[in-house]
Amino acid sequence: MSWIDRFVSTLHIPTRKSLVIELFLMALGVGLAILFAVVLLEDKPPGVEPASLTMTLALIVPALLVLLGRRRWPLTICLISGMLLSAIRLLDVPELQISSITIVIGFFAAGRYGAPVRRDIVRGVVVLMMIAIIAWEARDVWSNLARYGLTERFFLLSLLGGVAANIVLFVATWFAGDAFRRRVEREKELAARTLELEMSREENARRAVMDERVRIAREIHDVVAHHVSVMGLQAGVARQLSKSDSADIGEPLLAIEESSRQAVTELHRLLGFLRRVDETDPDGLSADALTPIPGLHRLPDLRSQLAGAGLALHLEITGEERDLPPSVDLNAYRILQEALTNCLKYAGVDSADVLIDYGTEQLSLAILDRGRGPNAEPSMISSGSGLPGMAERVALLGGTLHHGPRTGGGFEVRATLPYEGHSSAAPSATVPEAVTQ
């Protein structure tokens, strides 16, 4: 970082460009003050003895340069500007009212950047300083009306106008500084809330995906545990039958039986922490775990539930129906359940089309609707995680998922699930993109 960057950072100046602009304006102010002082010194009216050009430079240059620090030390700069203005007025320094501009800028900075309570105290002190200066100048002119060639009435009217102008100027600057500060604070607060909401949204989406993965893992556990248990029972029966035929077959079958029991035990132990229920059965399984594993054979029940909630289901099945692998059957049902629940909750329609195609190598699903908008009474059929959950299930089986608006209106979800498919990669830690209706 260069010294210029450090200088800009120390004084809280936004950019190098801002620094250049401020220095240019300050140089312009100094130039105008010098020009005015030179002209006044050459063409000074009778009886007027302004301060020298050196005095003008000695006071105007610092009065302008200190403004560079108004963002870092706003209250100090405001006080310094007030004191320099007082000195310029008391010494009658010719400077074309540049000092008046500096005090306004310093006064605004005190309200814009100053700390609470202290900024009001400092601004109050500066206002008292300005009142004292006006009073001193008014007393001086009042006692020398003849020298200045003024009448009492003209002087009083001029004084009244000057006081009114200063009151308007300082009151406006006071409220402007406070208004800008409040606006910036609101913008920061809104930015913080936006960031918080964005982080919350991402966290909720991530948590939804994690919850869905837990749900998938629990269901896969139930599928595997069921089949391994059956394998163990069959191996046990085979071992009993083998006693009358050959003593050699008993040992391998005993090993199969024991391995199956150990596998089930390890599955329960590995995934037991995923189950968060208040009431468990004696084996530590939830009541849901003991219910039949859902699949497409439960579509009539789902259809009845949806009809009761106000969504008619138009079902079309093509291809030759076949026995599906348990994981494909289970996840196909869950995808249909989630997609139809979304139709009920978001589409605002009373019907949806479901297309199921039993292909030679994969099962294809399509859920279509023609609506858009929230439903007054969202369904409570499913506890899944919507589109992110569908993406997780499809990725588990190595299939494809498409979802989005339909041509002509409505929304569609299409999924393909290979019968012998497998996930091409480990589950990602990132959250799948969810498109809402």
Residue type, 242: S
So what's the pLDDT on residue 290?
Answer: 42
Contact criterion met (CB below 8 Å) for 370 and 410: yes
* pLDDT of 316: 93
**Alpha-carbon span 381 to 331, nearest angstrom:** 16
Q: Tell me what pLDDT residue 366 has.
A: 95
Give 188's pLDDT tier (boundaries 50, 70, 90).
confident
Cα–Cα distance between 406 and 426 in angstroms, integer? 31
Please tell me the predicted confidence (pLDDT) of residue 396: 80
Q: What is the mean pLDDT of residues 49-58?
A: 84
Averaged pLDDT for residues 316-323: 91
- Domain ranges (residues) in the chain: 3-150, 296-418
Domain made up of 296-418: CATH architecture: 2-Layer Sandwich (3.30)
Range with lowest mean pLDDT among 95-99, 149-153, 227-231: 227-231
| Side-chain half-sphere exposure of 391, counting CA atoms within 13 A | 20
Q: Tell me, what's the pLDDT at 83?
A: 94
Q: Taking all residues of the chain, what is their mean pLDDT, rounded to a whole number?
A: 79
| Window from 33-42, 178-187, 263-272, 296-305 with minimum mean pLDDT | 263-272
How does pLDDT run across 375-391, given as a tens digit for each residue? 333 333 344 457 888 88
- Residue 357 has a pLDDT of 95
Higher-pLDDT residue of 320 and 45 is 320
Tokens 């199969």, residue? 256
- Of 9-13, 44-48, 308-312, which one has max mean pLDDT? 9-13
Residue with tokens 């001193």: 136
Q: What confidence score (pLDDT) does residue 60 get? A: 92
Q: For the segment 70-128, what is each residue's pLDDT rounded down to a tens digit?
A: 999 999 999 999 999 999 988 888 888 898 899 999 999 999 998 888 999 999 999 99
More confident residue, 283 or 45: 45
Mean pLDDT of 351-370: 92
Cα–Cα distance for residue pair 239/434, rounded to 1 Å = 52
**Alpha-carbon span 369 to 224, nearest angstrom:** 35
Counting other chains too, the contacts that 52-58 makes at CB distance below 8 Å and 24 or more residues apart are 55/91, 55/93, 56/93, 56/94, 56/95, 57/30
Average pLDDT value for residue range 161-175: 90
Query: Following DSSP, what letter does each residue of 292-350 receive, concatenated?
Result: PPP-GGGHHHHHHHHHHHT-EEEEEEEE---PPPHHHHHHHHHHHHHHHHHIIIII--S
Q: Is the pLDDT of residue 393 over 70?
A: yes
pLDDT beyond 50 at 140: yes
Say what the pLDDT of residue 319 is. 92
Containing 185, the helix (H) or strand (E) segment is helix 152-242
Q: Identify whether the C-beta of residue 97 lies closer than 8 Å to the C-beta of residue 166.
A: no
For the stretch 399-429, pLDDT in tens is: 999 998 888 788 899 999 998 754 444 344 3
